[in-house]
Amino acid sequence: MPGFEFFGEEERKEVNEVLETGILMRYGFDGPRKGRWKAKELEQAITEVFGCKYAQLTSSGTSALTTAMAALGIGAGDEIIMPCFTFVASFEAVLSVGAIPVLVDIDETLTLKPAAVRAAISPRTKCIMPVHMCGSPADLGALQEICNEHKLILLEDACQSIGAKYKGRSLGTIGDAGTFSFDFVKTITCAEGGVVMTNKEDVYVKSDGYTDHGHDHKGIDRGADLHPFIGYNYRISELHAAVGLAQIRKLDTFLSIQKKNCMALRDALSTVPEISFREVPEGGEDSCTFLSWLLPTEALTKAVVEEMKAQGILAGSFYWYSNNWHYISKWDHLKQATTLHNINPDQKAALLKLADTKFEASDAVMSRCISTAISLMWTEEQRKDKAEKMVAAVRKVLQAQLQQA
């Protein structure tokens, strides 16, 4: 799953090249940097590897989402339709630009349920933001159709799905803009970092300025840059970009190991007829960072989680339904609008409303789903052992249930 498992000589070499010049900043200092531009080089590599026209690096995946929203003109009063199963960063970014997160159900793709999106559209809807959770795409065809019909922006939160595809194109490059995170547990890591990808020149130019205090980056002298609009500092450093540069060169290796390990685990779990797997929309290609599997009922799933815990084999497997970071059921701070400062009354009202909103369709999926992270480091023996133990734990629970019945 995470690139940090493969940290080594290549990353050290790239970082040392930056340390040799001491120019840790991505802009300016043209002479002393001796032609070393790690952030620029990484942006170029991202456009080539993922097939988009423009890439703007940022300090994190969260700031990449904020930047993309600002560059797309999403702000106060605008509603963004997003899923109720995601990482907290997705709604943090929405709130940061003054927009209103409208959370809706997911389906067995573990991403936005298109019918729920349709039902949530209002005159204030500005954007649909699918989150391609756990390595696999949302039904982008259906979502794009809704966007075209209602003239909405499509922004892809692809932070967890580096290397996954939809109809042959990389996730994150299909909507009006898309983002990756390069935080420490993502498929490739910079320690902290992110990127906005787009094929639209104006979105790129705005993202470029927004992440650097609104600088227009037109002059050779930073001090003489103009500020066509107000920005922030969401810059990545050269040290972080250097790590990312070494990592992106290893992406194909990461993905092929993930796929091999994931398929082997899937084959083993498939021998249990009660186990099913997350749905991948037609034309979708899973990056296999996780294997997400489902059991027939919530009770069985909880029993399997308990059994795995008791056997000491739960590490690396996640029951998101009762996890504090990823599912609406546990986001009390969001539902109570607990912020450190006043927020726009529209935003506050929308958040408080979430407390009485039911997500039954999502509960029905999430309460039965376990995601197992796929390690790049498993030996064949470890992988087999893990699979055998998981299958045995599930069979034991199923057997016990049968005896009860």
Ligand X SMILES: *Cc1c(COP(=O)(O)O)cnc(C)c1O
Q: Which two tokens stand for residue 61?
A: 């995946």
Cβ 270 to ligand X shortest distance, Å: 27
Q: Which two tokens stand for residue 175?
A: 């909507």
How far is it, in rounded angstroms, from Cα 166 to Cα 130? 13
How far is it, in rounded angstroms, from Cα 147 to Cα 276? 31
Contacts with ligand X, residue ranges (CB under 6 A): 60-62, 86-87, 89-90, 131, 157, 159-160, 181, 183, 194
Q: Which two tokens stand for residue 82?
A: 């997003």
Cβ 187 to ligand X shortest distance, Å: 10
Query: Which residues are known to be catalytic?
Result: 186
How far is it, in rounded angstroms, from Cα 112 to Cα 138? 6
CB within 8 A of 111, min separation 6: which ones? Answer: 83, 85, 130, 131, 132, 133, 136, 137, 138, 139
CB-wise, 74 or 303, nearer to ligand X?
74
CB-wise, 15 or 93, nearer to ligand X?
93
Q: Which two tokens stand for residue 31?
A: 């002479």
CB-wise, 62 or 317, nearer to ligand X?
62
Cβ 9 to ligand X shortest distance, Å: 25
How far is it, in rounded angstroms, from Cα 226 to Cα 42? 25
Q: Which residue has its beta carbon closest to ligand X?
A: 61
Cβ 88 to ligand X shortest distance, Å: 8
CB-wise, 181 or 371, nearer to ligand X?
181
Cβ 194 to ligand X shortest distance, Å: 5
How far is it, in rounded angstroms, from Cα 162 to Cα 237? 21
The dihedrals phi and psi of 378, each to the nearest 5 degrees, come to -60, 135
Burial (CB count <10 Å: 0-12, 13-18, 19+), residue 302? middle
CB 104 within 8 A of CB 57: no
The dihedrals phi and psi of 317, each to the nearest 5 degrees, come to -110, 135
Cβ 103 to ligand X shortest distance, Å: 14
Cα 10 to Cα 16, 192, 206, 249, 255: the distances in Å are 10, 18, 33, 9, 18
Task: Give the strand order in the sheet containing 79-83.
Answer: 54-58, 194-198, 177-181, 153-157, 125-128, 79-83, 100-104
Cβ 131 to ligand X shortest distance, Å: 5
CB-wise, 74 or 398, nearer to ligand X?
74
CB-wise, 60 or 125, nearer to ligand X?
60
CB 217 within 8 A of CB 208: yes
CB-wise, 114 or 172, nearer to ligand X?
172
